[in-house]
A = this chain, B = another copy of it.
Amino acid sequence: MNLLLFAAHERTPQNTLILPVQDRRATHITQVLQLQLGDTLEVGQINAGIGQAKILAINSQHLILDLLSLNQAAPPALPVTLILALPRPRMLARSLEHMVTLGVKHLVLLHTARVQKSYWQSPELKEEKIAQHIQLGLEQAKDTVWPHITYAPLFKPFVEDVLPEIIQGKKALFAHPHSQQACPRGLQEACVLVIGPEGGLVPYEVDLLTQAGLEGVHLGPRILRVETAVTALLARLF
């Protein structure tokens, strides 16, 4: 936790933050960072500024922080809309943290032929689980800007009806091992990137994405796990 992240509604009218001692953030402050009364730490308000807070009180029930200036901006976001075939639950959790840490703010989780239908019923997709991973990723990167996640459980309608609007005026790519073109480096423009599932996109899906105006790009002959591919593609593109 490089930044203590809190929500606007947690801020009191006295401009303090009162955390129950069992709160994960409170135990991190007292047990991992071992901070004491009067110490300061970096804090950020979700979708707002970053600054310092000072420990005003620690008692058996609460840890109270005085919020000082919160006038620093969050680090720049990646200019990308990432469209990811829904990974299996454990992979989703880790991939989410990588993506959020790297600065992805627009994510679409997509159904494709090789996504198991059961993944859509996973408890990892519950709002509170997704929110946990987002919070951890933002805390890691010292970021406060909450990403938008949407769901596209039907491939064809998404690609034919929704995707054309999303890619309007942007570089539009899909990662696919057998593409002609190597993934570009150091893009200076906004980009839409589709990443397939373990096992890849099927030919019909590749055709549909190509018809929709996306270009296939590869990362070389090695087949990467989804969570490795997500980080590798983002690091190479931006």
Measured CB to CB, the residues of A under 8 A from B are 2, 75-76, 94, 97-98, 101-103, 140-143, 185-186, 219-225, 228, 231-236
A232 touches B186 (CB 8 A): no
Nearest CB in chain B: distance from A137 CB, A? 9
B185 touches A223 (CB 8 A): no
Give complex CA distance A103, B232 in Å.
13
B225 touches A140 (CB 8 A): yes
Number of copies: 2
Q: What residues of chain B lie closer than 8 Å to A185, measured between beta carbons?
A: 185-186, 236
Give complex CA distance A140, B219 in Å.
14
Q: What residues of chain B lie closer than 8 Å to A228, measured between beta carbons?
A: 97-98, 101-102, 231
22 CB < 8 A contacts A-B: A75-B220, A75-B221, A94-B94, A97-B225, A98-B231, A101-B224, A102-B224, A102-B232, A103-B222, A140-B223, A140-B224, A141-B222, A141-B223, A142-B221, A142-B222, A142-B223, A185-B186, A219-B235, A228-B231, A232-B232, A232-B235, A235-B236
